Structure 1
């Protein structure tokens, strides 16, 4: 069946590629090793419970929330290239 310019399975390839990119990005943000006693951004003490719960923690909860909000603004790359996504 003719799909125009896209080959057979092109949509699934785009989905797979988007999922793989998301997994790669998430894995790159994982920390390892010993966490810090004080936040590297503001210098506030990081509670022992947070250090025990989050491996390799480097930020206090407040700074981590700020960083998470900033990263949430990054919406990723829309591989479908719809006009709506290009207008953002």
Structure 2
């Protein structure tokens, strides 16, 4: 049953849209191509298995982990809070 102006599936629609946006952002960040043979950061060799598994790779595992740890994830829902959407 809907309350106020929101439709029956408004909350699930918002969740689906947020997940789809996150997937699209992640796909845009993926690189393409054969990748590098040596790390851009530390010049360590990148194993062939990693280059095959991660197309367009440019960092070794250690540098990639350090890069990911420094990035952090945005937990802010840019579509607004559930309460503001359903009023």
TM-score by length of 2: 0.72
Partner Cα distance (2:68, 2:29) in 1: 11
Q: Which runs of 5+ in 2 are unaligned?
A: 83-87
Residue 40 (structure 1) aligns with:
40
Higher relative contact order (CA 8 A, sep 6+): 2
Partner Cα distance (1:46, 1:80) in 2: 42
Q: How does 1:7-86 map to 2 (within 5 A)?
A: 7-8=6-7, 9-71=9-71, 73-78=72-77, 79=79, 81=81
Regions of 4+ moved over 4 Å = none
Q: Which runs of 5+ in 1 are unaligned?
A: 83-88
